[in-house]
């Protein structure tokens, strides 16, 4: 009986895929990429809120009654009074800068997600259901 149970154990272990060092490195890379993508998604949300704030500020300047009255513009934690046209210029520059940041972040996320799909495909092909590589966008 012990011989047949040893054979059964050998057959069972042969049918399960073996995790190699390279596989573990791919799994670790997937985790790092997933964390980076999550960080970038959070930065994108923050920057989009900033863009909404810039848009609201520009709208407020346009709705102001007088072009000659100074506008209070926030620089860091201080408000500075300046002409409306100067404030609009600064808002436009800030909007362009943040928009460029968002576009760069979105491109990086797309690149990361593509790498993650490749890793997932390779790992699931070899290891099947013995691993679970779920990222935040899968849920």
Residue-wise pLDDT tens digits, 102-128? 999 999 999 999 999 999 999 999 888
| Under 8 Å between Cβ of 43 and 108 | no
What is the rounded average pLDDT for all residues in the chain?
Answer: 86
Does residue 2 form part of some domain? Answer: no
Does residue 3 form part of some domain? Answer: no
Domain hosting residue 40, numbered range:
20-138
- 74 vs 56: CA distance, rounded Å: 13
The CATH number of the domain where 46 resides is what?
A: 1.10.287.370
Does residue 101 form part of some domain? Answer: yes
- 24 vs 42: CA distance, rounded Å: 27
16 pLDDT tier (thresholds 50, 70, 90): confident
Does residue 12 form part of some domain? Answer: no
Q: List alpha helices for 16-71, DSSP H.
A: 21-63
Does residue 7 form part of some domain? Answer: no
Number of domains in the chain: 1
Does residue 8 form part of some domain? Answer: no
pTM assigned to the model: 0.77
Does residue 14 form part of some domain? Answer: no
């Amino acid at each position: 009986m012990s011989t047949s149970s040893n054979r059964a154990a050998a057959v069972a272990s042969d049918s399960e895929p073996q995790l190699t060092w390279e596989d573990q490195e791919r799994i670790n890379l997937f985790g790092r990429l997933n964390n980076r993508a999550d960080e970038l998604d959070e930065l994108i949300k923050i920057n989009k809120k900033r863009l909404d704030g810039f848009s609201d500020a520009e709208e407020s300047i346009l709705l102001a009654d007088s072009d000659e009255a100074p506008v209070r513009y926030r620089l860091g934690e201080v408000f500075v009074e300046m002409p409306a046209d100067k404030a609009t210029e600064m808002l436009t520059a800030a909007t362009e800068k943040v928009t460029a940041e968002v576009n760069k972040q979105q491109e990086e996320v797309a690149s990361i997600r593509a790498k993650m799909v490749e890793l997932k495909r390779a790992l699931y092909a070899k290891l099947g259901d013995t691993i679970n590589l779920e990222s935040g966008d899968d849920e």
